[in-house]
Structure 1
Amino acid sequence: MKKIALALLIVILGWAYQVIQFRSPPPRICGLPGGPPITARRIKLSDGRHLAYKEHGVPRENALYKIIFIHGFDCCRHDVIPFSPGFAEEMGIHIVSFDRAGYGESDPNPKRTVKSTALDAEELADQLEFGPKFYVIGYSMGGQAVWPFLKYIPHRLAGAALIAPVINYWWSGFPANLSREAYKQQCLPDQWAVRVAHYTPWLVYWWNTQKWFPSSSVAAFSPDILSPPDKQLITHFISRQYAAQIRQQGEYESLHRDMIIGFGNWEFDPMDLENPFSNKEGSVHLWHGEVDRFVPVTLQRYIAGKLPWIHYHEVRGSGHLLSYAEGISDVIIRTLLLGEK
């Protein structure tokens, strides 16, 4: 027994040493010595950080509708919602996408919280003179980030659309059996990755860089998580010429903080939110693919049932990449701006 105990102690000490050695390295901040160059337009936020952004559609001063787009996991400002040629001119829309903190050319935010992305976007809208209200659209992890907009700055919104938003399995509003069943639908590596992010966030960097156990399938672009319709659309991501810019300041400040925030303990439960447009001066829409293997559709249906003021759109035969299917994004934007379809 003493020999077994000694062997276990050696294993534990070796494991602890590995964890210590795999602390996240300091970020390579854009524009600083040794960091990537600055190529994007940026604003300076009130806390001194810089936020990189990109403008799309008609000129800002000519726009009828102004939209802020929130990109997803392992994406950046270039990954804006795709729309058909001529659609922006037809609708009179101006869209601004920005690198969320730590992604692309936006400075990392070591104090990042569930709330901070919404406040960053609000400052961006103010500095670009969007006016008192604007629309927000978020995709995947960016879709999840729209919930804090509805919680903390609903008075600034003209409307909101969440496209395949990532859910947090530990939101208290979910029945335990439902969230547990959905959780087990994930690939085993992703079950472990989100569990580590929730329970031991200080281990996230080590878990996603160690070689002993499989880490996040999503971060690794594993084909195992793709539904048949997603496999037909994945070329939109594989062919991205700017892909190296996404994680250039460090995977911990981009991907890993996303996981820690997205699957951590939230200050509020989205299912407790009240209708921000009770006077019908705007609307909230949630779009989800019927065969999404990234985010279980059963949980989106439950959220929609708990929040009847949300217009829920389930797209048959579509997966997580539904907005990249031909014509879908035009429908999503038009529905948001002109009312429920």
Structure 2
Amino acid sequence: MKDDIMVLSDGRRLGYAIYGDPEGIPLFLFHGTPGSRVWFIDDDPIAQELGICLIATDRPGYGLSDKKHNRKLLDYAGDIEELAEHLQIEKFSVLGVSGGGAFAAAVTYALPNKVDSCILVCTATPFINGNPPKTMSKENRIAFYMTKYCPWLLKQFEKSKKKLIDQKPKLYIETLKKGGSHLSEWDNNVLQNEDVLENGLLHSKEAYRQGVDGVIDEGNLLTKDWGFKVEEITRPVIVWHGEKDTFSPVIEVKNMAKKIPEIETHYLIEAGHFLTESDEVWKSILVSFKGSQSYMVNIL
């Protein structure tokens, strides 16, 4: 892993990390909410093997990236365009996980001449009238309602979480292991994996590096109108989603997918929300991506 920071044209810092093959096919990774550029403890052998260069970013307020006041979802396209120019990358693809899916869709919509393809993994979907869907787990809906109507209360909860991560990391991991009835069997099983938990701790620690405002701001942002319609996306979109996902219900994803002009879908029957934590699924995603890129090269 190579950690780095670039300074954007407005003076903000943007943190990013590079994994896999530095000379490989560029694929930008957009983390969930909350999240960070830390996707792997050291590197990703699967991306190395396949010749893919993974560029993971910290969104504003997370990790090494400065906060952006009054930001909109589409604003992130400008940050990514600048980062691509900084890295001398003319064309690239994007992959967004969970809340990061909204940003991947936004970048794809805003930069059709730069983005080859967009991969949405256990993605968030647009809210209707700013409200989370009733098919979402109660626990997740409550968090979004708190973000919108009583952010001060959510802020106290997030501060407690950050304190636990910073001061009692072992207890934090034990808490994660307990999972919960609101999670699918798949997700509860994933949380028994020690490697996943260790990486999750590092990922979360970076996410809260600057405090808790990043997650509060972004949670609120995701309840708002995305600023574009998914049917206006003109680049190929690939969806990977678990049928048992309780954070982002598959029915909402299927309804969204029907509106996207060029779409390929992979719905995993027994899978939950934590798809990228499965080596098998992650390899399938990257192999499929590599194959689609080879196809594009052959027809051009």
Cross-structure match for 1:13: none
1:145 Cα deviation from its structure 2 partner: 1.1
Cross-structure match for 2:67: 108
Q: 1:208 is matched by which residue type in structure 2? A: L
**Secondary structure in 1 matching 2:217:** helix
Report how many aligned residue pairs link the two structures: 271
2: CA distance, partners of 1:171 / 1:336:
34
Deviations 1:210-258 (A, max 9, x none): 58xxxxxxxx966243210111112455323523232121211x11111
Alignment of 1:63-102 (within 5 A): 63=24, 65-79=25-39, 85=45, 87-102=46-61
Deviates more, 1:189-198 or 1:44-53: 189-198
Cross-structure match for 1:208: 154
Alignment of 1:15-94 (within 5 A): 40-59=3-22, 62-63=23-24, 65-79=25-39, 85=45, 87-94=46-53
1: CA distance, partners of 2:113 / 2:40:
24
The question of 1:185 aligning with 2:135 is answered yes
1:69 Cα deviation from its structure 2 partner: 0.7
The question of 1:301 aligning with 2:254 is answered yes
Contact (CA 8 Å) 2:91, 2:116: kept in 1 or not? yes
1:298 Cα deviation from its structure 2 partner: 0.4
2: CA distance, partners of 1:225 / 1:330:
27
4+ residue runs of structure 1 moved beyond 4 angstroms? 80-84
1:90 Cα deviation from its structure 2 partner: 3.3
Q: Report % sequence identity.
A: 26
Cross-structure match for 1:256: 216
1:244 to 186, 192, 205: 205
Alignment of 1:124-139 (within 5 A): 124-130=83-89, 132-139=90-97
Deviations 1:90-138 (A, max 9, x none): 32211111111111111111132111222211111110111x2101111
Deviations 1:45-79 (A, max 9, x none): 011000111111123xx32x111111111221112
The question of 1:227 aligning with 2:184 is answered yes
Measured at CA, do residues 308 and 266 of structure 1 come closer, stay the same or move farther in structure 2, by a change above 3 Å?
Answer: closer
Measured at CA, do residues 194 and 91 of structure 1 come closer, stay the same or move farther in structure 2, by a change above 3 Å?
Answer: same
Contact (CA 8 Å) 1:66, 1:135: kept in 2 or not? yes
Cross-structure match for 1:24: none
Q: 2:187 is matched by which residue type in structure 1? A: D
1:325 Cα deviation from its structure 2 partner: 1.7
**Secondary structure in 1 matching 2:279:** coil
**Secondary structure in 1 matching 2:272:** coil
Cross-structure match for 2:288: 335
Root-mean-square deviation (Å): 2.9
Measured at CA, do residues 108 and 291 of structure 1 come closer, stay the same or move farther in structure 2, by a change above 3 Å?
Answer: same
Q: TM-score, normalised by structure 2?
A: 0.81
2:79 to 79, 96, 120: 120
1: CA distance, partners of 2:121 / 2:147:
23
